[in-house]
Amino acid sequence: MHNSIRVDSVLLPTVHTDFLFSAVMKVISVVMFGLGAEFDQYWMPNPEYNYPHFSYGMAIISAFSTIFSSMAHQVYRGIVQKEYRQPSIDTGAMIRGPYRPTASSYNI
């Protein structure tokens, strides 16, 4: 009897696509906001008081971290797909658990 413990990879391509789409949209929005603030000073009200603040820096950090998480998820997806190509192993010992002696196994 072969019992295999494997990660279900049905949602992995979908999750990776979502990460990638989110990263692209964040980069586009950060670049558009940065270019708008740099070259068109009247696109926001009160241009003398409006400039990129802390939230813009956090949006840049969020875009880079989303790009990194997308790359890390791609690596994980490759590992899972490689495991699916390998033959399954017998994990019966892991399912049964460790040996636990009972009172009758001591032969007293």
Q: Model confidence over 82-92: pLDDT tens digits? A: 877 776 665 55
Condensed to tens digits (0 to 9), the pLDDT of residues 22-37 reads: 999 999 999 998 888 8
Condensed to tens digits (0 to 9), the pLDDT of residues 45-73 reads: 776 777 778 888 999 999 999 999 999 98
How far apart CA 40 and CA 31 sit, in angstroms, is: 13
How many structural domains compose the chain?
1
Residue 78 lies inside a defined structural domain of this protein: yes
Residue 73 lies inside a defined structural domain of this protein: yes
Q: Which range marks the domain in which residue 18 is found?
A: 12-85
Please tell me whether the overall predicted TM-score, pTM, comes out greater than 0.75 for this model. no
